[in-house]
Amino acid sequence: QPDSLNLVYKFHKLFKHPVLTFPEIPNSQRCDLRLALLIEEVKEFEDATRCALAKFVSEPLYSGVFKKK
């Protein structure tokens, strides 16, 4: 989508990342950085998903234990 490309362009300009004039395969250092960032995002997603699942499973169990009479 053209709007997505404009947002990426603005992000790169704002954070002083290189903006290429034509498509090219990034060098190995930039590929490593991109991969590290993706891995970090997936790890954060995994942690959040596990926390949400644990909360979903545990809330009904604990609500019965700590219910006021």
**Angle (CA) 36 41 10, round 5°:** 85
pLDDT at 68 over 80: no
pLDDT at 69 over 70: no
Q: How does pLDDT run across 2-56, given as a tens digit for each residue?
A: 799 899 899 999 999 888 888 889 899 989 998 999 999 999 999 988 888 888 7
Quickly state the pLDDT bin for 67 (edges 50, 70, 90): low
Considering only CA atoms, which of 27, 28, 30, 4 is closest in space to residue 17? 30
At position 40, the amino acid (one-letter code) is E
